[in-house]
Amino acid sequence: MKEAAIKQALLIAGATGLVGKAVLKAALADPNTDHVYALLRRPLDIEEAKYTPWISDDLTPPELSANDIAPTVGVIALGTTIKKAGSKANLRRIDVDLVVNTATHMQTLGVKHLIIVSCLGANSKAMSHYLRCKGEMEQAVEALGVERVTFLHPGPLAGDREEHRQDEKWLQATMKWVKPLMVGRLKNYLPIEADTVAKAVMAQIQTAQAASVERLDSIAMTALAMTALADGQSD
DSSP label of 9:
E
> Which parts of the chain fold into alpha helices (H)?
18-29, 82-85, 88-92, 99-109, 129-142, 166-178, 194-206, 218-234
What's the pLDDT at 1? 42
pLDDT in tens, 155-178: 989 887 655 555 656 666 666 666
User: Considering the domain boundaries, does residue 1 fall inside one?
Assistant: no
Q: Which residues contact 102 (CB under 8 A, 6 or more apart)?
A: 13, 39, 59, 76, 78
Side-chain-side CA neighbours of residue 142 (13 Å): 13
pLDDT band at 211; cut points 50, 70, 90:
confident
- pLDDT surpassing 90 at residue 129: yes
User: Considering the domain boundaries, does residue 219 fall inside one?
Assistant: yes
User: Considering the domain boundaries, does residue 2 fall inside one?
Assistant: no
Separate counts of helices (H) and strands (E) for the chain = 8, 9
For the whole model, what pTM was predicted? Answer: 0.89
- pLDDT surpassing 50 at residue 98: yes
Give the chain's mean pLDDT.
Answer: 89
pLDDT in tens, 37-63: 999 999 999 999 999 999 999 999 999
Residue bearing the bigger pLDDT, 229 or 59: 59
User: Considering the domain boundaries, does residue 37 fall inside one?
Assistant: yes
Count how many domains the chain has: 1
CA distances from 215 to 53, 94, 201, 227 (A): 28, 21, 12, 18
- Helix/strand/coil for 73: strand
Cβ-in-10-Å burial (0-12, 13-18, 19+) of 26 comes to: buried
Q: Which residues contact 32 (CB under 8 A, 6 or more apart)?
A: 5, 6, 7, 8, 205, 206
CATH code of 180's domain: 3.40.50.720
Residue bearing the bigger pLDDT, 95 or 68: 95
User: Considering the domain boundaries, does residue 195 fall inside one?
Assistant: yes
